[in-house]
Amino acid sequence: MRVAAGQFVVTPRPETNAQQCVEMMARAHRQGASLLVLPEALLAREDGDADLSVKSAQTLEGAFLRLLLAESRTNTLTTVLTIHVPSTPGRAINTLVVLRGGEVIAHYGKLHLYDAFRIQESRLVDAGESLPPLIEVDGMRVGLMTCYDLRFPELALSLALRGADLLVLPAAWVRGPLKEHHWATLLAARALDTTCYVVAAGECGSRNIGQSRIVDPFGVTLAGAGGDPGLIFAEVTADFVQEVRAQLPVLQNRRFAPPQLL
């Protein structure tokens, strides 16, 4: 199947950001994609207000997703992204949502909060309490992850052991020393750990690096973006996953019990 990752600069206006999502969904569909991954925390962002994503939180029934769901009804594209959903007053859950056929078919509260490099996501965001589900897209099993989850190999491994062929990762990877190196290295490592494809979408702009990538189960980058808005595409197949796993059976060769995450 054909997969896509899209990146753009998130603005302080949810309506503008929703329209950018809708335009990328339409473009991905026109270019034959079955799966589109968009970045993390798409409701609102502003360099001068680090809390705007949480302040702008909306429910899954809110205006932002209603616009995207209206576009989703027009085709069979599966779209993955994250928004902040209110939890308790002044707080939210960073929630990955999967849209298809005009419905939210799955959602996942981000487990690993970004309390690193002098940023404390947990100050206003509550961690999820459940492992992400697997979904199916065109016969391939897809595991769900969000941004900082990438640094925790046990989550990717748990998804692969449950049957994932492909992992998706909406992200807003913050700029900083060696951060681009970490991003590229970790994406390849998670693909090799799990012998899964990885489709990662990164928000771009002054704060985050962009650099969306589609990586195959051997850790090879099939398509990559720089720092500008745009879409990237690649072809992925379940047969190739099986070919790689026949040559590199790391999931079978493991000597340790599956990790307990929760």
Write down the catalytic residue from 40, 71, 121, 203: 40
Residue with tokens 């589109």: 36
Write down the catalytic residue from 21, 71, 110, 196: 110
DSSP letter (8 states) at residue 70: H
- pTM of the model as a whole: 0.97
Judge whether 40 counts as a catalytic residue. Answer: yes
**Rounded to 10 degrees, what is the CA torsion of 105, 239, 213, 38?**
-10
Tokens read off for 48: 């001068």
Q: What is the pLDDT along the chain (262 residues), one digit of tens a residue?
A: 999 999 999 999 999 999 999 999 999 999 999 999 999 999 999 999 999 999 999 999 999 999 999 999 999 999 999 999 999 999 999 999 999 999 999 999 999 999 999 999 999 999 999 999 999 999 999 999 999 999 999 999 999 999 999 999 999 999 999 999 999 999 999 999 999 999 999 999 999 999 999 999 999 999 999 999 999 999 999 999 999 999 999 999 999 877 677 6
Percent of the chain with pLDDT over 70: 99
* CA dist., res. 3 & res. 37, Å (int): 8
Judge whether 110 counts as a catalytic residue. Answer: yes
Helix axes 179-194, 153-161, angle to 10 degrees: 30
Q: Domains of the chain, with CATH numbers?
A: 2-246 (3.60.110.10)
pLDDT at position 121: 98
Using alpha carbons, select from 71, 80, 54, 58 the residue that is nearest to residue 19: 71
* CA dist., res. 217 & res. 249, Å (int): 11
CB proximity list for 253: less than 8 A, separation 6 or greater: none
* CA dist., res. 43 & res. 81, Å (int): 10
Write down the catalytic residue from 21, 121, 147, 196: 147
Judge whether 147 counts as a catalytic residue. Answer: yes
